[in-house]
Amino acid sequence: MIRQSQFSPFSSFFQGMLDGVPIALGYFSVSFGFGITAVRAGLSVLTATVISLCNLTSAGQAAGVAIMAAGGSFLEMALTQLVINLRYGLMSLSLSQKLDESFHTPRRLLVSYGITDEIFAMASSKEGKLSPGYMYGLILIAAFCWTLGTYLGAVAGQMLPASLTSAMGLMLYAMFIAIIIPPARKSRSVMVVVITAALCGLLFHYSLPWVTSGFAIILSGVAAAAVGALVLPVNEEPEGEAA
Amino acid sequence: MSIVIYIAVMAGVTYLIRMIPFTAFRRQIKSRFFRSFLYYVPYAVLSAMTVPAIFYATGNMATAAVGTVVAVLLAYFDMPLIVVALAASAAAFLSGMIL
């Protein structure tokens, strides 16, 4: 009755690793950009690598590094991570409905570490229930490449000439653009939200410069998402079968 | 020392957001407003993180603007992430040698 769990733990682990390869390759390039950004912000190679290993999230880490560089408060750090990563809560909620019966609490505590946008997308598109072995394989290869990419990006950021690393400082932001523009082109409501958030970001930076970067991101992001939800609520269930 | 606290706060909050619904929470979110809000949050946050920070990412607003235009154009035509990122950096690097 449960397709995933009919395989042995090892073969589902291997299947997870296999499904994780395209995610891991994407993560490698994004985290390379993060490593360069982190070193440019004044962090050490070790700090950048540890941040990637224990956070496994691109937008949250980029905002976190900006707060560390600006000497922001711990409260600002906590609130920023809460808002930026709130979406993982919904993804975790959705995935929790899809776990097979061998997922006891310690296994859930382990797998919680690795719920990202891409891993959520891959796991939720899988037919049938999810086994622990499959999730371990998927997360392990993705987290490994995320951490390795950060390390290599940070090392490169320290060794390459400044003219090159300053241009590479654009990589992470260019990837954010590559993430938000295609859906914004296809959906008018996403476009409205993206433009509202960008205008809020400009407003805070130039009109209210005393608002620190983390709070500016929180307020702009919450305001733009709330405008979208009020004016253009999503019709379909975002997580398909989850309801 | 404060670096360790920063990382602990970051990682702790991020983990709890993932862990609590995954292990404990069993109900579905019914509110259409809240579901829509969560759907829009990633786009809103990424946009607010990018503007205006991207214009300061290279230390030279002119080269950053060139890179940004290249990134927006390539993203509009659905190029893969890594292509957009490398082309934007290359455009900023080359314009830095000319400007």
Residue A7: pLDDT band with limits 50, 70, 90: low
Which of A7-11, A66-70, B27-31, B37-41 has the lowest average pLDDT?
B27-31
Tokens of A160: 């390459």
Tokens of A188: 């008018």
Condensed to tens digits (0 to 9), the pLDDT of residues A49-104 reads: 999 999 999 889 999 999 999 999 999 999 999 988 988 887 888 788 888 889 99
B7, A47: Cβ pair inside 8 Å?
A: yes
Condensed to tens digits (0 to 9), the pLDDT of residues B21-30 reads: 898 865 666 7
Residue of A nearest to B17 (CA): A89
Domain coordinates in residue numbering, chain A: 7-168, 187-237
A163, B96: Cβ pair inside 8 Å?
A: yes
User: For residue A13, what pLDDT is reported?
Assistant: 95
User: For residue A236, what pLDDT is reported?
Assistant: 58
- Measure the CA–CA gap between A108 and A145, rounded to whole angstroms: 22
Query: pLDDT averaged over chain A?
Result: 89
CB proximity under 8 Å: B 31-90 to A? 32-54, 57-60, 63-64, 67-68, 71-72, 74-76, 78-82, 84-90
Condensed to tens digits (0 to 9), the pLDDT of residues A208-219 reads: 999 888 888 889
B42, A117: Cβ pair inside 8 Å?
A: yes
CA dihedral A199, A200, A205, A206 (to 10 degrees): 60
Percent of chain B whose predicted confidence (pLDDT) is above 70: 94
Percent of chain A whose predicted confidence (pLDDT) is above 70: 94
Is A183 buried (19+), middle (13-18) or exposed (0-12) by CB count in 10 A? middle
Which of A2-11, A196-205, B68-77 has the lowest average pLDDT?
A2-11
Average pLDDT rounded to a whole number, residues A198-221: 91
Nearest-neighbour CA in chain A from B1: distance (Å): 12
For helices B2-23 and A105-112, give the axis angle rounded to 10 degrees. Answer: 130
User: For residue A238, what pLDDT is reported?
Assistant: 46
Interface test mutation site (partner A, options B43, B56, B69, max chain A beta carbons within 10 A): B43
Residue of A nearest to B80 (CA): A178
Residue B81: pLDDT band with limits 50, 70, 90: confident
B5, B51, B80 ranked by CB distance to A74: nearest: B5
Condensed to tens digits (0 to 9), the pLDDT of residues A143-154 reads: 999 999 999 999
B41, B75, B90 ranked by CB distance to A177: nearest: B75
User: For residue A2, what pLDDT is reported?
Assistant: 47
B54, A221: Cβ pair inside 8 Å?
A: no
**Given a cut of 60, is residue A46 above it in pLDDT?**
yes
Angstrom CA distances, A160 to A34, A101, B96, stand at 15, 50, 16
B11, B43, B90 ranked by CB distance to A190: nearest: B43
**Given a cut of 70, is residue B86 above it in pLDDT?**
yes
